Amino acid sequence: MIDPSAGLDRAADVLIVDGRIAAVESHLDARADVPVIDAAGMIVAPGLVDMHVHFRDPGQTHKEDITSGAEAAARGGFTAVACMPNTLPPIDHPTVVEYVKSRARSAACRVYPIAAVSKGQVGQELAPIAGLAASGAVALSDDGVPVASAGLLRRAMSYASMFDLPVIEHCEDLTLSEGGVMHEGAWSTVLGLRGIPAASEEAVVARDLLLAEVTGARLHVAHVSSAGSVRMIREAKRRGVTVTAEVTPHHLVLTDESVQGFDAAFKMNPPLRTPADVEAVREGLLDGTIDAIATDHAPHAPEEKMVEFDAAPFGVIGLETALGVVWTALVQTGALTPADAIMKLSTAPASILKIPGGTLRPGSPADLVLIDPNRKWTVDAATFASKSRNTPFQGWTMTGKAVMTIVGGEIKHSDLEVEARV
Ligand SMILES: [Zn+2]
């Protein structure tokens, strides 16, 4: 049993009563009225929390909807996700926050809405932040695009602080990235594709760190992909700037070289960068500069992605592969301990968003994942619960899998060979 919130990493039993964790002890006697799950050889941990998903609902439900997205999340071991507001219409009004919350009630995991910074996410006028906070938005973001106006972002940060909401920034200077489809470097030159320089991310990270310092607001940098961003965030944290950051599984393991097959499953924004950047984001994850791993799950229908690389939309899915990628590439290799992985995939994102989860403390909602750390499996997108198939990990052999996902004491996904017995 691993619980980073309590420094717990040892063999134990957990008792769940009425959807909550009632006790965690070295040994608990079985109760006649409670089914027993034998998790010998498994890791029991707080359910994973993905603070960055796109569920396309409302508006583009042919790609994903809240039901299918939450099902994909539960299969991947996630018990809670926060969905980005770039829907149609965007989550820029309390009525849309209410819509997401109402659809989430019957979903396979908890789904929290992130609301827009600006009305329509077009960067002109502030969204009604007080109303969005009151209706249950857990953060503010114009993700998909950056907040281009520094003045607007400064005002958004000041308001967000009044409601203790983090502002999540998609850091990209559109005047530097315009027309780009992959990382600007040797591979973009070889492949003849227009590049997105690392500086387009870093310029906005620098600006946003200054604004976080001026306003005292909680800045969260989404999908950090470049060495320069890691360096600036590390330096800002040292000085006490209230900044947190996330990295995606794909930016931890893939480089721009993968684009050479012109497969749009390797096209996302920010793009895959160089081996030196991958090394830097890994170092940032290990030294605490990067707090969380988030998937940026971005579904697109096959017919939308099956076009020439230049024309395909940005984005890849990640909920059903995240744990496998992290376990295979970072835990099995000894780079991250299992407890560190759970911290980055659960405890840290829950605490950044101040949502329930990320802990097994008695009294908490019984949101748990059972991980088989040695289960070998092969990624086959055809079997995914997501409506979309755009994964860069198709055919990969993974070690480590979520074999059971429990949300509020209910089993939402099970692939466990030993079944529950009463
Ligand atoms: Zn983004």
pLDDT, mean of residues 9-28: 96
Least confident of 9-23, 30-44, 245-259: 30-44
pLDDT at residue 417, as a whole number: 67
Look up residue 165 and give its two tokens. Answer: 């909401």
Interval 205-250: pLDDT, tens = 999 999 999 999 999 999 999 999 999 999 999 999 999 999 999 9
Task: Classify 240 in phi/psi space as left (phi over 0), alpha (psi -120 to 50) or beta.
Answer: left
Alpha helices by DSSP H, listed for 6-113, are: 66-75, 94-104
| Residue 296 designated active-site | yes
30 CA from centroid of ligand 1 (Å) = 47
Residue 89 has pLDDT above 60, yes or no: yes
CB atoms < 10 A from the CB of 179, how many?
8
Residue 422 has pLDDT above 70, yes or no: no
Kindly give the pairing relationship between strand 140-141 and strand 167-169.
Answer: parallel
- For residue 333, the number of C-alpha atoms closer than 13 Å in the C-beta half-sphere is 10
Do 153 and 211 contact (CB within 8 A), yes or no?
yes
Residue 85 has pLDDT above 90, yes or no: yes
With the CA atoms of 300, 348, 358 and 296 taken in that order, what torsion angle do they form, in degrees rounded to the nearest 10?
0
Kindly give the pairing relationship between strand 110-113 and strand 8-9.
Answer: unpaired
pLDDT at residue 24, as a whole number: 96
170 CA from centroid of ligand 1 (Å) = 5
Interval 128-178: pLDDT, tens = 999 999 999 999 999 999 999 999 999 999 999 999 999 999 999 999 999
Residue type, position 109, single letter: C
State the Cα–Cα distance between residues 299 and 63, nearest whole angstrom. 6
Mean pLDDT over each residue of the chain, to the nearest integer: 96
pLDDT, mean of residues 94-100: 98
Tokens 């829950």 sit at which residue?
A: 350
Residue 364 has pLDDT above 70, yes or no: yes
CB atoms < 10 A from the CB of 190, how many?
12
Residue 420 has pLDDT above 70, yes or no: no
Among residues 65, 208, 291, 296, which one is catalytic? 296
Q: What are phi and psi of 45, to 5 degrees?
A: -145, 165
pLDDT at residue 47, as a whole number: 98
42 CA from centroid of ligand 1 (Å) = 34
222 CA from centroid of ligand 1 (Å) = 6
Query: Number of helices (H) and strands (E), helices first, in the chain?
Result: 14, 18
Residue 421 has pLDDT above 70, yes or no: no
214 CA from centroid of ligand 1 (Å) = 24
pLDDT, mean of residues 252-273: 98
State the Cα–Cα distance between residues 285 and 146, nearest whole angstrom. 23
State the Cα–Cα distance between residues 246 and 318, nearest whole angstrom. 14
144 CA from centroid of ligand 1 (Å) = 4
Interval 287-317: pLDDT, tens = 999 999 999 999 999 999 999 999 999 999 9
223 CA from centroid of ligand 1 (Å) = 7
Look up residue 345 and give its two tokens. Answer: 């995939």
- C-alpha pair distances (Å), 304 with each of 105, 229, 313, 348, 389: 30, 31, 7, 34, 11
State the Cα–Cα distance between residues 213 and 186, nearest whole angstrom. 35
Do 50 and 294 contact (CB within 8 A), yes or no?
yes
Do 3 and 14 contact (CB within 8 A), yes or no?
no
CB burial string 379-392: b at 16+ within 10 A, e below: bebeebbbbbbbbb
Confidence of residue 32 (pLDDT cuts 50, 70, 90): confident
- For residue 145, the number of C-alpha atoms closer than 13 Å in the C-beta half-sphere is 18
State the Cα–Cα distance between residues 210 and 200, nearest whole angstrom. 16
The CA angle 401-405-406, to the nearest 5 degrees, is: 160
Assigned CATH for 2-414: 3.20.20.140
360 CA from centroid of ligand 1 (Å) = 31
15 CA from centroid of ligand 1 (Å) = 39
261 CA from centroid of ligand 1 (Å) = 24
